[in-house]
């Protein structure tokens, strides 16, 4: 604890947190949710379109049948199976026990950064990318190597290849192949090229 100018105790934040300041997402959320504002800056669907009744009855049915659903437990096997079946329909095959359930994509990003990134390690990302990505990697003070984003085709794979050939060894490369944020594009062609570039540039 340290004392503020008014004498009230305040927490001494870690260096990265002191550096990071207000996030762009936080600012967009407070501006975009003001009464009378319809913001197209974030993925905020009209609340009247949410299936409120269906969510309510699904939650009630689960809690009626199995109050232990509120208990700590290993990952919920039926949900893992459901996720694996859905992904198989989309052409991505894996076993249900390989599914790691998270509270959302942001938590998944943060966990991956913790798993893969050393403090000060390299990461390749696009100049146009989801702003929450920065929050996920910031605690590790990474060396961010950015490559241009083409509005039509997404990540500039040639620029990635040049970085790899030049000796870059990123902990990971961040891109969003489907529903790219902010382009909303499907850039699977760039991702396929990226896979080939990785094979040839990092033998």
Residue 2: beta bridge partners?
Answer: 10
Residue from 51, 67, 78, 104 that binds ligand PLP (CB under 6 A)? Answer: 104
Residue from 105, 111, 165, 192 that binds ligand PLP (CB under 6 A)? Answer: 105
How many distinct helices (H) and strands (E) make up the chain? 8, 7
Residue 181 found at the interface with ligand PLP (CB under 6 A): yes
Residue 149: beta bridge partners?
Answer: 155
Sequence-ordered list of residues with C-beta below 8 angstroms from that of 189, at least 6 positions apart, any chain: 153
Nearer to ligand PLP among residue 22 and residue 71 (C-beta): 22
Shortest Cβ contact with ligand PLP: which residue?
A: 104
Contact indicator for 91, 115 with CB cutoff of 8 Å:
no
Sign of CA dihedral 41, 45, 47, 52: negative
Nearer to ligand PLP among residue 153 and residue 162 (C-beta): 153
Distance CA 86, CA 20 (A): 37
3-state secondary structure of 37: coil
Sign of CA dihedral 116, 199, 189, 96: negative
The interface with ligand PLP within residues 123-142 (CB under 6 A) comprises: 130, 132
Contact characters 17-46, ligand PLP, x per CB under 6 A = --------------------------x---
Contact indicator for 24, 131 with CB cutoff of 8 Å:
yes
Only one of the segments 53-61, 104-112, 143-151, 154-162 lies at the binding site for ligand PLP (rule: CB under 6 A); that segment is 104-112
Nearer to ligand PLP among residue 104 and residue 120 (C-beta): 104
Nearer to ligand PLP among residue 9 and residue 104 (C-beta): 104
**Residues found near ligand PLP in the complex (CB under 6 A):** 43, 104-106, 130, 132, 176, 181
């Amino acid at each position: 604890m340290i004392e503020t100018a008014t004498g009230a105790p305040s927490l001494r934040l870690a260096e990265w947190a002191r550096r990071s300041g207000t996030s762009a997402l936080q600012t967009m959320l407070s501006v975009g949710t003001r009464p009378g504002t319809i913001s197209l800056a974030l993925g905020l669907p009209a609340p009247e379109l949410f299936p409120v009744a269906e969510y309510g009855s699904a939650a009630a049915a689960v809690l009626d049948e199995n109050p232990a659903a509120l208990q700590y437990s290993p990952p919920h096997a039926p949900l893992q199976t459901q996720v694996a079946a859905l992904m198989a329909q989309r052409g991505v095959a894996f076993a249900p026990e390989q599914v790691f359930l998270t509270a959302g994509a942001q938590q998944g990003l943060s966990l991956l950064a913790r798993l893969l990134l050393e403090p000060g390690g390299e990461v390749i990302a696009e100049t146009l990318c989801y702003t929450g990505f920065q929050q996920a990697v910031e605690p590790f003070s990474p060396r961010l190597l950015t490559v241009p984003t083409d509005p039509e085709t997404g990540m500039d794979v040639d620029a990635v290849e040049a970085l790899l050939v030049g000796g870059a060894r990123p902990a990971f490369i961040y891109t969003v192949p489907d529903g790219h944020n902010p382009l909303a594009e499907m850039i699977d062609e760039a991702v396929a090229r990226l896979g080939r570039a990785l094979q040839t540039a990092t033998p």
